[in-house]
Amino acid sequence: MDSVTKSLASLSLHPTLVNHTGTNSPATWRDALTTSADGPDSFELIKTLVYKPKTAKTATPVPVVVIAREAASVNSGAIGKNLNLKDLRLASEDLLKEFFSLDKDSLSPLALNETNFSKVVTVVDASIATISNPLALHALSSSATVFLSSSDLLQYLRNLETENAKIHELDLQNLETAAPAATSKPPPKEKEDARIEGSVQIAIGVKKEVDFSTWYTNANMLDYYNVSGCYILKPWSYSIWEEIQKWFDAEIKELGVQNSYFPMFVSSKVLEREKDHIEGFSPEVAWVTKAGNSDLEEPIAIRPTSETAMYPYYAKWIKSHRDLPLKLNQWNSVVRWEFKNPQPFLRTREFLWQEGHTAHLTKEEADVEVRQILELYRRVYEELLAVPVIPGIKSEKEKFAGGLYTTTVEGFIPTTGRGIQGATSHCLGQNFSRPEMFNIVVEDPTDPTNQRKIHVWQNSWGLSTRVIGVMVMVHGDNQGLVLPPRVASVQIVVVPCGITVNTSNETRSKIEGACDELAKTLKKAGIKVKADLRDDKTPGYKFNDWEQKGVPLRLEIGPNDLAKQQTITVRRDNGVKSAVALDNIASTVSQLLESVQNDMFKRAQETFHSRLKEVTKWEDVVPTLDSKNVVVLPWCEREACEEDIKERSGKASEPTDERAPSAGAKSLAIPFDQSRWTAIEPGKTKCPACGNDAKRWTMFGRSY
């Protein structure tokens, strides 16, 4: 770090240096900076990628150093083409060490110095020059950051230039657009870099041209928290969760489910009762070992899920078939201490959810409930969040640890072409109720001798705040969030317009009065509305603000509208404007909100369906996945084949980034509705992956 400070000082640069905890991803870096008391309030992360072009084995490589905004997509193929270099591959850690004596997490433009600059090719994203926020650069350490203005950074780099070594300023965004679009034939391998480098945040960035994490923060959804992997749900996102809770809670109560609360702590003995189950969860369990200054006698787990915590009591409470069905639910939070890259909503160390746990006398009854709940999950996604999902069953490999079978609603993120598990409803069978487990048993009421025992049939089912993340990714656009009206805490914003310095006070107050009045009228009709009468903000600022936050409908009233007794409606989902009469306005906008909700769903559904590709030849699988589709294969349903598909589809897209979501395709679900694909002919239709007899059409895809 000293050397950094010195070399910057030699250019009369004395930037802020912030020390923080070590970081190993954009998210943890941003976390560390956001929660630091020092450093600027807003900033932009700068990433430094190093590629190695294909050269003769004996030749000394000339690495390509690419300096770009964190959110930028880097198309190494297009860069190579531009520089006339072949087959750029992400450099190995060894190469980084050799050239810069640094690991990838400590790398930054400041690693370039007079000694190494001439030995590399340096590419700078031209758009960096346009950034007005301070740039965050690693100070040759993953736990220290300096902030420079973009002009200072460029000054630093230009200062290193010699006659023979210049920086290359490239417009990475346009390079990307110039690259060939994905087609059904295998795209050039380099294409993969851009997609897999860096996880959702960036993946979304590719298309939506925004930084995903900044997007959440700007849109007021969440804030980063100073415990890594944890996030604050601000009212804007929490209110969506409340809407989902309200709806789902009423529905399950109709099914006879009752709410309860079990403690968050689970003794290790109880947690470890079911072997498969604990194997699935133990690497992520958080342990309390101390209270005050005392060490606990034995560590106590924080629940990752509550099966084993609850079922000893089910065994106690269920004494007779008359105690069945027992249907309990709880709204709580669970902790899974993920060590992978955290992602807001999708992969967080604590998350909110509901977990339902039920016990039944017969398998038939349990089966029926599994599907009833799955149907409610489908409706949460489709009817509340306007997000299309496909209900189906998980493969044996992907089912819940310790369960009998798992049903799921599977979603799809078009931007990345990846599948995402929406929510799952499990039948646990009698696995947890059998004698050597929790022994939940009743007398068989149909047995006149009262001798026969039945071990109960159990289900568990859960829906988490992940739903919000899926909704955001599916509907969001370049302007920010797009909220479906049914879950938006503000469905309509009313903005007074056309007020200038020349507007008389009287007209001004008339317009504001009309906006206020309009809001009151709509509120009375049960619409969630807000009149934005802030006097220190322009209409333009307000438009942008509410668009970013995703409010479904904006109503504008200006002098002209006032005269005509009308308001201008502007839809967030498609930007369509129209003038409508103030007369009968509540009913007009209610219908409009309904249309927004339906149109959002229809658009998303069309996209999903168009990207669900029936594939029957192995050679089409990877190209189809690479074109951001989910493939549907007539599958043999053998676990070995499933592993093989993952392996082969993963290999095909190297080099990968270790931090990226798995690039191999997993089985996502076997859809219940098989009728949309060509009928499988038993004994004739073959699995394209292994040639065995196909059983059912199964969705395979890269996933979150």
> Which residues make up the interface to a second copy (CB under 8 A)?
21, 35, 41, 223, 225-227, 230-235, 238-239, 241-242, 258-267, 270, 282-294, 297, 299-300, 302, 312-313, 316-317, 322, 328, 332-333, 335, 337, 339, 349-350, 352, 534, 536
Reported as type and span, the H/E element at residue 240 is helix 235-254
Q: Distance between CA 681 and CA 683 in Å, rounded? A: 6
Tokens matching residue 23? 């970081």
Q: Distance between CA 533 and CA 147 in Å, rounded? A: 37
For a second copy, the closer of residues 72 and 302 by Cβ is 302
| Number of neighbouring beta carbons within 10 Å of residue 73 | 21
CB of 602 to a second copy, least distance (A): 32
CB of 571 to a second copy, least distance (A): 26
For a second copy, the closer of residues 335 and 393 by Cβ is 335
DSSP state of 323: G
CB of 682 to a second copy, least distance (A): 45
CB of 439 to a second copy, least distance (A): 9
CB of 306 to a second copy, least distance (A): 11
For a second copy, the closer of residues 241 and 635 by Cβ is 241
Sequence-distant (≥ 6) Cβ neighbours of residue 345 within 8 angstroms = 222, 231, 465, 466, 468, 469, 470, 472
CB of 15 to a second copy, least distance (A): 22
How crowded is the C-beta side of 368, counted as CA atoms within 13 Å? 8
CB of 309 to a second copy, least distance (A): 8
For a second copy, the closer of residues 465 and 653 by Cβ is 465
For a second copy, the closer of residues 468 and 518 by Cβ is 468
For a second copy, the closer of residues 298 and 643 by Cβ is 298
Q: Prior bond to 655 cis, omega within 30? A: yes
The radius of gyration of the chain from alpha carbons, rounded to an integer in Å, stands at: 28
Tokens matching residue 74? 């880097």
For a second copy, the closer of residues 165 and 317 by Cβ is 317
Q: Distance between CA 194 and CA 198 in Å, rounded? A: 9
CB of 278 to a second copy, least distance (A): 12
For a second copy, the closer of residues 179 and 352 by Cβ is 352
CB of 337 to a second copy, least distance (A): 4
For residue 499, CA distances in Å to 120, 380, 492, 529, 539 come to: 57, 42, 21, 21, 9
For a second copy, the closer of residues 14 and 317 by Cβ is 317
Reported as type and span, the H/E element at residue 637 is none
Question: What are the DSSP E strand ranges found in 593-702?
Answer: 612-614, 630-635, 666-671, 696-701
For a second copy, the closer of residues 549 and 638 by Cβ is 549
Tokens matching residue 223? 């804030």
Order the strands of the 566-571 sheet from edge to edge.
529-531, 492-496, 553-557, 566-571, 577-581
Q: Distance between CA 135 and CA 43 in Å, rounded? A: 6
For a second copy, the closer of residues 262 and 672 by Cβ is 262
For residue 45, CA distances in Å to 32, 109, 149 come to: 12, 12, 12
CB of 253 to a second copy, least distance (A): 10
CB of 234 to a second copy, least distance (A): 6
Whether residue 409 contacts residue 673, with contact meaning beta carbons closer than 8 Å, is answered with no
Torsion 336-339-344-347 (CA) sign = negative
